């Protein structure tokens, strides 16, 4: 069974640009959540989707947005990139039926903003 797939693995952008990251969950998983990981900050919750609906959202500015498609694949978009957006963005999937399921993580997308 394939794991959670995130693309691209690495991304370099400049300030002001926008970026779209993609996540394909494990087959059968309907919940996808996104986390930002920076040194010293740990993982910060961005948002969670289940069956194309956002069920929760973290404390990030509106420049961060996401969506989920009918096949459960998800994308997150960051507009008007800032230097502080440089981070590892992790996607996690779960079956989604219960709010305390274990998460399966992808290897992440390392975003560098210059």
Partner 1 sequence: AQKVTQAQTEISVVEKEDVTLDCVYETRDTTYYLFWYKQPPSGELVFLIRRNSFDEQNEISGRYSWNFQKSTSSFNFTITASQVVDSAVYFCALTTSGTYKYIFGTGTRLKVLA
Provide the binding-site residues for partner 1, judged by CB under 8 A.
3, 31, 33, 35, 40-45, 48, 50, 55-56, 58, 88, 90, 92, 99-100, 102-108
User: Which one, 14 or 56, has the nearer CB to partner 1?
Assistant: 56
Which distant-in-sequence residues (6+ apart) come within 8 Å of 32 by Cβ?
23, 25, 48, 49, 50, 68, 72, 73, 74, 91, 92, 93
User: Which one, 18 or 89, has the nearer CB to partner 1?
Assistant: 89
The alpha carbons of the chain give a radius of gyration, in whole angstroms, of 13
Name the minimum Å distance from CB 82 to partner 1.
22
Backbone region of residue 84 per phi and psi (left: phi > 0; alpha: psi in -120 to 50; beta: other values): alpha
Name the minimum Å distance from CB 112 to partner 1.
15
User: Which one, 81 or 106, has the nearer CB to partner 1?
Assistant: 106
Name the minimum Å distance from CB 108 to partner 1.
5
H/E segment holding residue 43 = strand 42-50
Name the minimum Å distance from CB 39 to partner 1.
9
Per the listing, tokens 């300030």 go with 15
User: Which one, 25 or 108, has the nearer CB to partner 1?
Assistant: 108
The partner residues of 79 in beta bridges, in order of sequence, read: none
């Amino acid at each position: 069974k394939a794991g959670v797939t995130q693309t691209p693995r690495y991304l370099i952008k400049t300030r002001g640009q926008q970026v779209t990251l993609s996540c394909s969950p494990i087959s059968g998983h309907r919940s996808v959540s996104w986390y930002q990981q920076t040194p010293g900050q740990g993982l910060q919750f961005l948002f969670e989707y289940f069956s194309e609906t956002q069920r929760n959202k973290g404390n990030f500015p509106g420049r961060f947005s996401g969506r989920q498609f009918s096949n459960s694949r998800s994308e997150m978009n960051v507009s008007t990139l800032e230097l502080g957006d440089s981070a590892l963005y992790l996607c996690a999937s779960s079956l989604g039926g219960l709010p305390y399921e274990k998460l399966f993580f992808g290897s992440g997308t390392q975003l560098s903003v210059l």
